[in-house]
Chain A
């Protein structure tokens, strides 16, 4: 069709189910059915995009009309978009370990109740457990003749336990999500872990914030990799000029022990068999021994920015693709966690994540720990709570002085531009020198 350089269609059908238990009662359960398509047309300059509910792929004249409608939108654009030639092909979807779809709703409710009841130990005043399950049947086609179909299922649960004493409250939280699996079947022990943590936090100190040495556990160090480096390496932000990593390829931006990788091929929560615009997925080494080596790319950002390969376009059902991380991690070092704590001498060990945020243009990040421990004379001491870490990306990467040798990945969700996608983050324990720690206590 005249004026159309390229088109693609990504249609996702599926369902999201949830069960919510509060204080041993099933408060809510339900299902949301998904059925949305995104039709992208690349006009003489930029994109025209249509999103349509319960899409039926039309043929012949009706399909041409659909493209013409998207093309009319493309005529508003002024940016000259160039698409990279991208390697195509889909990698195999990992086999299901346990298929959540094969387990009936009542059994899921029963298992979730076991997790919740395990958290109801003396001192716990409130509990909340949630189960979510999402399956997607994805169909992709483009004007180059590529066609892919695949199905994925993700499921997981969370347990929140609230401990109360003398009018004070603290919470313990555990969550576990998995790709092509059903972790709820092994979730009971997390109920008790969440409860015991909530009780312990009642006696934890609120540390006074300031500049100090910090050891991050694998979960929080993974959030650091994601927030501080991953987002700033997304090439759409680099292209817009809103990343502090713009123009720094080949530059040493961190200490020589820091290697940071994004890999959508890993069978972790952020796995993709093919990206949202049909490009083959590959591992990307973003930071190689302290040197910035690649950005994460879509077909659109690669010609505009360079340095890397395509395969990092991801999208929520019914939304246009964005450059996104998948499974992001700091590579292993050769120390032990005990060596990191001994080397830290005086400081703080931060554990678990309550989330984080980054301003990639300014190069500033912030994230919050679920709990931590004071480090005194090279040993772990009293438990602390409500501690956060903030910093400047470039300065902080140089301040990583040790990485432990055992890496662990954690599943979660990441938001950007109004879209939320499943990701995993991971790292070994890492030691930071002179980090800015936030806390409103006096200890």
Chain B
């Protein structure tokens, strides 16, 4: 039951009727029509220092249409489902401009799907709940001598219907709970966050970790330029592989000449100890799902298995275009947004060890990962909350240094994964130990 302040209410039933109208009207003008209608409610509390500065409630609607006419695909979306006729016209106009391609149809009705995989009915967008969450983080931060800078907590729920003129009709519900806190001690900053689809995050723990980072990074030392074994946290690792390695697994990038991994199928592309697997059934994945963004049933997709490249990711458009099968890898770019190739829950598997037992530079976060070369994987990033570990314990924080290298090459020689994992965007990742990485110190 959703909090009365933000309810789906009768407008949702009206919206259901709209889907039928769109499909009927669209079918008269195109061979196939796809409708994705989403409605969501969220509540956010924003903390400034130790007081809530604003509380925000949002009600969203999104209607996304795709039409296929003579192999030409047109898309359009709107936040106002009542204006669906203009939206349909725009999709048809854009289809007229698009180049025709091989097209063998949208998914049909298929099997009856099971229950919701990432929906927690108790994750209610209730203002009092988000207030408790920010208070919990703030209390957790009191365990270290730091100032709270800012923070926020949010609870969202969505209902999404995907339907098409081939008879597919799938309804889903999703929930997202997220919170984060930023702290500072003099010029040492710390930021920690957690995301889940259920109400299982401990706000006190998030606050305590944010405070720990700022407190223990204080008084950092410089490290000399040189070659180090580096342990990247799930956040730092997720940002670096997300900048170039994961995009190189997209079938579209492979076939359009923008992937360094093209032509390397069945070849070793990283340490044989590592496997990158998209697992849509992962119990912690925010994007876990039974079917993808265009209604294809999802399956576990081993992209890299024991270091060997096994597959690329395809949606229907790219699969038809290049004569491959879809891997069920279509994702919506936002709630009710357009379809693109992506991952539902990317995981990294490999040997789980105490990866900080031997001396290493531990990096909690990096600044500027998005500036990496997306084609070649070359990068230079500034370190944030980095510590030199000796004998399994942090010896001193590192004041300022850069990590420079190549994402594809850095995966070639690794030294194990942590047992603990974290939800990082569309991934659930461990920390990873990387051997012989170049650090530019001061």
Asked whether A and B interact, the reply is: yes
Partner of B52, one of A23, A76, A239, A388: A76
Q: Which residue of B lies closest to A19 (CB)?
A: B97
A52 to B42, CA, bound (A): 11
Classify chain A: how many residues form its interface, as a range. 35 or more
A386 to B405, CA, bound (A): 10
Asked if residues B378 and A36 are in contact (CB atoms below 8 Å), the reply is no
Which residues of A are found within 8 Å of B82, using beta-carbon distances? 54
Give the residues from 1 to 30 in chain A that come closer than 8 angstroms, CB to CB, to chain B: 19, 22-23, 25-30
A151 interface contact, C-beta 8 A: no
Asked if residues B55 and A440 are in contact (CB atoms below 8 Å), the reply is no
Interface string of A369-403 (1 = CB under 8 A from B): 00000000000000001111010100000000000
Asked if residues A74 and B384 are in contact (CB atoms below 8 Å), the reply is no
Partner of B373, one of A51, A72, A354: A354
A48 to B378, CA, bound (A): 45
Which residues of A are found within 8 Å of B77, using beta-carbon distances? 30-33
A206 to B147, CA, bound (A): 41
A368 to B225, CA, bound (A): 20
* Residue with the greatest number of chain B CB neighbours at <10 A, chosen from A35, A78, A387: A78
Which residues of B are found within 8 Å of A26, using beta-carbon distances? 97-99
Segment of A93-101, A334-342, A358-366 engaged in the interface with chain B = A358-366
Asked if residues A366 and B381 are in contact (CB atoms below 8 Å), the reply is yes
Which residues of B are found within 8 Å of A126, using beta-carbon distances? 256-258
Q: Which residue of A lies closest to B189 (CB)?
A: A361
B61 interface contact, C-beta 8 A: yes
A385 to B79, CA, bound (A): 42
How far apart are B69's CB and chain A's nearest CB, in angstroms? Answer: 13
How far apart are B154's CB and chain A's nearest CB, in angstroms? Answer: 10
* Residue with the greatest number of chain B CB neighbours at <10 A, chosen from A54, A126, A362, A436: A362
B367 interface contact, C-beta 8 A: yes
How far apart are A114's CB and chain B's nearest CB, in angstroms? Answer: 15
How far apart are A381's CB and chain B's nearest CB, in angstroms? Answer: 20
A109 to B93, CA, bound (A): 12
Asked if residues A30 and B61 are in contact (CB atoms below 8 Å), the reply is no
Partner of B56, one of A34, A49, A125, A209: A49
Give the residues from 161 to 189 in chain A that come closer than 8 angstroms, CB to CB, to chain B: 162, 164, 168-171
Partner of A364, one of B87, B147, B149, B367: B367
Which residues of A are found within 8 Å of B376, using beta-carbon distances? 168-170, 386
**Contact (A105, B380) CB under 8 Å given A77-B51, A209-B440:** no
Which residues of A are found within 8 Å of B87, using beta-carbon distances? 31, 33
Asked if residues B49 and A51 are in contact (CB atoms below 8 Å), the reply is no
Partner of A49, one of B54, B96, B338, B373: B54
Asked if residues A25 and B260 are in contact (CB atoms below 8 Å), the reply is no
A126 to B374, CA, bound (A): 14
B290 interface contact, C-beta 8 A: no
Asked if residues A358 and B406 are in contact (CB atoms below 8 Å), the reply is no
How far apart are B226's CB and chain A's nearest CB, in angstroms? Answer: 12
Which residues of B are found within 8 Å of A428, using beta-carbon distances? none
A105 to B376, CA, bound (A): 34
Interface string of B357-392 (1 = CB under 8 A from A): 000000000011011111110111110100000000
Asked if residues A53 and B61 are in contact (CB atoms below 8 Å), the reply is yes
Asked if residues B61 and A128 are in contact (CB atoms below 8 Å), the reply is no
Asked if residues B400 and A364 are in contact (CB atoms below 8 Å), the reply is yes
Q: Which residue of A lies closest to B437 (CB)?
A: A440
Asked if residues A74 and B76 are in contact (CB atoms below 8 Å), the reply is no
Give the residues from 80 to 97 in chain B that come closer than 8 angstroms, CB to CB, to chain A: 80, 82-83, 86-87, 90-91, 93-94, 96-97
B306 interface contact, C-beta 8 A: no
Segment of B25-33, B180-188, B294-302 engaged in the interface with chain A = B180-188
How far apart are B440's CB and chain A's nearest CB, in angstroms? Answer: 4
Partner of B53, one of A34, A69, A77: A77
Q: Which residue of B lies closest to A74 (CB)?
A: B55
B58 interface contact, C-beta 8 A: yes
Q: Which residue of A lies closest to B91 (CB)?
A: A30
Give the residues from 177 to 216 in chain B that come closer than 8 angstroms, CB to CB, to chain A: 182, 184, 187-189
B78 interface contact, C-beta 8 A: yes
A330 interface contact, C-beta 8 A: no
How far apart are A87's CB and chain B's nearest CB, in angstroms? Answer: 24
B310 interface contact, C-beta 8 A: no
Which residues of B are found within 8 Å of A385, using beta-carbon distances? 373, 378
Which residues of B are found within 8 Å of A34, using beta-carbon distances? 79
Asked if residues A169 and B375 are in contact (CB atoms below 8 Å), the reply is yes
A77 to B134, CA, bound (A): 11
B242 interface contact, C-beta 8 A: no
Interface string of B384-417 (1 = CB under 8 A from A): 1000000000000000101011100000000000
Asked if residues B371 and A440 are in contact (CB atoms below 8 Å), the reply is no
A22 to B318, CA, bound (A): 12
Q: Can you identify 29 A-B contacts, CB atoms within 8 angstroms?
A: A23-B256, A23-B257, A31-B76, A31-B94, A33-B87, A36-B79, A46-B55, A47-B53, A49-B54, A53-B60, A53-B61, A54-B61, A79-B53, A106-B96, A126-B258, A169-B258, A209-B380, A354-B373, A361-B189, A362-B189, A363-B187, A364-B384, A366-B381, A387-B380, A390-B400, A392-B400, A436-B402, A440-B379, A440-B438
Query: B: which residues have CB within 8 A of A?
Result: 5, 43, 45, 48-49, 51-61, 73-80, 82-83, 86-87, 90-91, 93-94, 96-99, 101, 127-128, 131, 147, 149-150, 182, 184, 187-189, 225, 256-258, 260, 338, 367-368, 370-376, 378-382, 384, 400, 402, 404-406, 438, 440, 442
9 further A-B contacts with Cβ under 8 Å, apart from A126-B257, A209-B440, are A22-B256, A31-B93, A46-B55, A77-B55, A209-B404, A241-B184, A357-B370, A386-B376, A388-B402
For the complex of A and B, the 5 pairs showing the least CB-CB separation, nearest first, are A438-B380, A126-B257, A368-B371, A366-B368, A54-B80
